[in-house]
A and B are shown apart, each in its own frame.
Chain A
């Protein structure tokens, strides 16, 4: 198992390099640069040129890439081009915990809601309950995050005033756990919906498959209680494919935060990334891309490890 993890980790290195070269290439192919924001008659062309020179924007792309990789390997993500004097790693470290927090809670929410519903649906297939769960799941899948977010803000925040309109905490008020939770509920729920729907579907299908198996029939024949049959014998096997899917879904959770953070004004790295993309703040874009890639690789690795833990037939 350990050797498998090491092997997988080593394999990730060329993969990450590949991703970084591709991203760097694509970002630099996009027209425009950070000076587009400096269109001001008080800033002369020669001053803009000096700025480009200072930040190496006039270097050929491969030189810029090599410089960036060299620094990154030493743990230096460079400085923001727009916020001169601010380290990218500082910006990310300020924001990453917020994103991980939001992602963590919404993931938990998705799991806690979708798996019981998936099981419920599988236990009573082709009944009203099943159809209701299925319908709700498809509705969740089909509803765009940004639309749901805006509707919730409009009704629950602006109309009824039950939730804050955005942000992570109330300004000018001392820290309180309830305040944090209050701010978290809507964005976490919106972020969870799409994945919740998918997870419910996967759980249902997988459980349906498992509940048809001979050993389940045997267990029932032995006179075990239905609860025990489903949760002890069925669930353990039924969840195996769901775990894999779940690992693969982690990056999509991350992508989801970009939209949810924007709508709910949640100060995470999704928001940082969007702003950096519009401002062509290359060091931030690259750093977030690399972190996302690393998270994706870790997500996949975790999925494989959990798979082995849950399924004794799997050996590495």
Chain B
């Protein structure tokens, strides 16, 4: 399942700091080497999985391991284009309502039973069932009906044309012959999800040693041929320092590298102990201005704030140049990225002038004032993300230049999220990041209907853009949809509800023996069935 995860939390990959420009998109595959079978790969991760069933899990670790055990109908490649997985091909009716999906023949589950259209129907009917208790019901709400036409053909009927539908086709297919008799109500807590998951993916679940590792082994009868690796062990390392030590020691063959450890990783690379793979992440980091707070209700003030923040310097000082200045609520990796959005460059004088036009004038103490109120506020971010913690201080310094007093406040993740989101909105400004889906639909973050309970916690609202957002998912022509999304992005950027800070990079440390690795903006273990170890 690829449509993952949102607010880059205290977690690893969000804030890198590297200044190597030339090594982006490293592909360690060497044309001269022939893939070899064998090898026990150990990958390290700071997160621990929770359960192996895409319909019920919410964390990246679970989803990564599920991706080895299960196959979905489609998969998004490194260019974020949908590619066939279990589905051989798919067709959409002219009105966009009926999707006919043709499955590969001869696909088997790990217990030897064949995977048929009935299993697909069974899987997709779970989140549509009224007793379903998992967190993904809304992802499937546009599906009206799922039917098996024959053993290898599935027909899905939607209630309205829905462009991001492809995202819903990435969920792992579950075996009806095992789970068919389990009441939907009990599926989420069924021991299948934790003790004995059976899918049709390249690797079979072998063992989950609590708090230590999850091990999977090659599935000999995989429909695309046995994977190269004999086994993968997903080692749970709950501390970044320990993870780095394990990489250095060769106890872990592959892991994502966090920004504070990047310099160490580079040294290890120089010593020939690892290979680093670096590329843009499908995410951006921003400052969100709470429009419930009257300080930030004036568009001109928000624009001035962006002009007053030097993002270039921020990237070079805090991230060691490892990242790109962000201008839009999208990623340059997305097909819907609009390069031509208005740019708000660093210009202190302009910022001062705009603030003055908005009625803010310096008081005796140098701090801007309006109607007896001082321009001072708190900027919150989450603990454990060093880059964000430093950015809060940089913002404090930079806004002081225009007469604004900022107090940084660093909070533990859970408490921070409760403060920032509905129904509390107890913050002035916030530094956060969004990891984006392969589909660029901006609705969940920017639609005004998402203000009251959803993720539009800055309270952005624009009726015209709302309309465009409502329409964008119904437009099946990608070019036309791209134009609509471009307009939405322009509209958002013009109003600066966020100051878009930067697009960060992802870094992976790989044992030099790993071959066939492809850097993917969303999936750390993309195409792992094709990896092999040259040992």
A residues neighboring B (CB under 8 Å): 30-33, 36-51, 54, 79-80, 82-86, 90-91, 94-95, 150, 153-154, 157-158, 161, 164-168, 171-172, 262-265, 267-268, 271-272, 274-275, 278-280
The smallest beta-carbon distance between B350 and chain A, in angstroms, is 33
26 contacts between A and B (CB under 8 A): A31-B414, A33-B414, A38-B58, A39-B417, A39-B421, A40-B4, A40-B58, A46-B137, A46-B453, A49-B453, A50-B137, A51-B133, A83-B51, A164-B251, A166-B237, A166-B245, A262-B238, A263-B241, A265-B242, A267-B209, A267-B212, A268-B211, A271-B238, A275-B48, A275-B238, A278-B413
Looking across the interface, which residue of chain A has its beta carbon closest to that of B442? A41
Q: Determine the distance from Cα of A47 to Cα of B455 in the docked complex, in whole angstroms.
A: 13
Which of A39, A50, A80, A264 is close to B242, meaning CB atoms less than 8 Å apart?
Answer: A264
* A37 contacts across to B, CB distance below 8 A: 9, 58-59, 414
B415 proximal to A (CB < 8 A) = yes
Q: A36 and B414: CB pair below 8 A?
A: yes
* B239 contacts across to A, CB distance below 8 A: 262-263, 265
Q: Determine the distance from Cα of A305 to Cα of B267 in the docked complex, in whole angstroms.
A: 56
* A47 contacts across to B, CB distance below 8 A: 134-138
- Given A44-B138, A167-B212, 19 more A-B residue pairs with CB atoms under 8 Å apart are A31-B415, A31-B419, A41-B437, A84-B56, A84-B193, A85-B51, A85-B194, A86-B50, A95-B211, A165-B246, A166-B246, A166-B251, A263-B241, A264-B242, A267-B209, A267-B211, A267-B212, A275-B238, A279-B414
Which of B3, B5, B40, B135 is close to A51, meaning CB atoms less than 8 Å apart?
Answer: B135
B480 proximal to A (CB < 8 A) = no
Q: A46 and B417: CB pair below 8 A?
A: no
Q: A37-B58, A39-B6, A41-B437 are in contact. Are A267 and B210 (CB under 8 A)?
A: yes
> Interface readout for B241-273 with A: 1 if CB under 8 Å, 0 if not?
110011011010000000000000000000000
The smallest beta-carbon distance between A147 and chain B, in angstroms, is 11
Q: B3 and A42: CB pair below 8 A?
A: yes
Q: B135 and A38: CB pair below 8 A?
A: yes
Q: Interface segment, B92-100, B116-124, B183-191, B390-398?
A: B183-191
* A54 contacts across to B, CB distance below 8 A: 133
Q: Determine the distance from Cα of A274 to Cα of B10 in the docked complex, in whole angstroms.
A: 15
Q: A94 and B414: CB pair below 8 A?
A: no
* B485 contacts across to A, CB distance below 8 A: none
Q: Determine the distance from Cα of A37 to Cα of B235 in the docked complex, in whole angstroms.
A: 21
The smallest beta-carbon distance between A95 and chain B, in angstroms, is 6
Q: B210 and A79: CB pair below 8 A?
A: no
Q: A39-B6, A94-B210, A172-B233 are in contact. Are A30 and B242 (CB under 8 A)?
A: no
Which of B135, B209, B242 is close to A165, meaning CB atoms less than 8 Å apart?
Answer: B242
